[in-house]
Structure 1
């Protein structure tokens, strides 16, 4: 089990959300009693050093950061990896083809406390996932493979987690169940359902993961809890999500 800096509720669940700024992030962190990881998106930085500086600023206050791509943008994979290897943030998002690059970059810097996820996408067929999520491969004919094979490849690359995206809310729920089963069979430490998750469907999606034997779960909830006028992630929504977590995780 990774010696993570992330605080999981009862060792199992942490939220992954965005914040408008550090003040909003600190409010979110307090509302979830620390069981949350705030994402900073590589796409927002023109230079790697700019991303490194902001991640370090957030780390001083929160202790952990999720370095993201930006709406799953595969062109950001290298930037995310390089920001992470300079900061050991605790969590980094990767496309399938970028995970090995990120793992090598982190290892070269002597870091061992950052989770690396691997983006796999739904196909409409439970038990099959799309792994051609990279900068060039996403433009070619879709590479669709058995989910157990994809999990084994993830482990080959020394990554830790499936980021199942874009789920489309409950649209891919049956596929998520198969991803969870494959993650169990592959002895993965973490699973991350992502895409279209909101206050209405969060409990049903989280329940699928909680009922598995996967040790840790990190649902990503983004746009649905962001106030469109202010750009702030709503603290009251974080509290509601946290209450659902406490209800499901005994």
Structure 2
């Protein structure tokens, strides 16, 4: 697929935010000049149908949305696939073991405008990543593999993006550098650093990915920009993040 429905700042960066509702999503979209992907967390809905109906409201106001697990919860993997297959939302978040399944479901459903990421996790060792991020495998002994092997396996099954979670801010930034370099070397189209990212560290995190030569970068910025009283994603905080992104170019 191409990325025609998406806007990336300078062709490189789009920030993934959450939103309280469709109106809030549009506010965030406008504040970012469209260089954003708004997340809809599957875990927040009781049924697939409810999520699909809400997703349709978002898509009336913005061109793409991102169907999320909800705090990386692997138990939501199949729900994400089902929601995405009914919406062709643009973007779907998935655990490593279910990413290929989801890409196949989307293809079979005629959803040709949505790409899937696969969640890999830091291990504390540069160049090694955990791929056992599924609902059952995450409770087993960690499957730790070379990052280039992990990315190559994803390319073999049609996955277009690597999600590196949980970053814990910049705690795992050296490991992110290795993942980013591998994505660039192996021509993985998108990298998505996630976890603990805010206006104070997004510059450094995205810079690592840019310096590595990554094609497209989607940092996930979640709770740090949500107003605790209203539950709305704060436009002012979003603009702070956007200003940090602009400084990189």
Quickly name the TM-score band, shorter chain normalised: over 0.9
CA displacement at 1:2 relative to structure 2? 2.3
Q: Which runs of 5+ in 1 are unaligned?
A: none
Kept in 2: contact 1:4–1:115 (CA 8 A): no
- The answer on 1:157 being equivalent to 2:139 is no
Of residues 41-50 and 114-123 in structure 1, the stretch that sits farther from structure 2 once superposed is 41-50
User: Does the C-alpha gap of structure 1 residues 206 and 72 become closer, same or farther in structure 2, counting only changes over 3 Å?
Assistant: same
| Aligned-partner Cα distance in 1 for 2:12–2:92 | 18
Would you identify which runs of 4 or more consecutive aligned residues in structure 1 move more than 4 Å? none
- The answer on 1:231 being equivalent to 2:231 is yes
TM value normalised by structure 2: 0.97
2:59 is aligned to 59
| Aligned-partner Cα distance in 2 for 1:144–1:156 | 19
Of residues 211-220 and 132-141 in structure 1, the stretch that sits farther from structure 2 once superposed is 211-220
2:78 is aligned to 78
Kept in 1: contact 2:184–2:215 (CA 8 A): no
TM value normalised by structure 1: 0.97
Question: What root-mean-square deviation, in Å, do the aligned CA atoms of Structure 1 and Structure 2 show?
Answer: 1.0
Q: How does 1:1-250 map to 2 (within 5 A)?
A: 2-249=2-249
Kept in 1: contact 2:117–2:160 (CA 8 A): yes
| Aligned-partner Cα distance in 2 for 1:107–1:92 | 13
| Aligned-partner Cα distance in 2 for 1:226–1:6 | 23
Aligned residues: 249
Of residues 121-130 and 236-245 in structure 1, the stretch that sits farther from structure 2 once superposed is 236-245
Of residues 21-30 and 134-143 in structure 1, the stretch that sits farther from structure 2 once superposed is 21-30
Kept in 1: contact 2:74–2:134 (CA 8 A): yes
| Aligned-partner Cα distance in 2 for 1:59–1:177 | 34
CA displacement at 1:39 relative to structure 2? 0.3
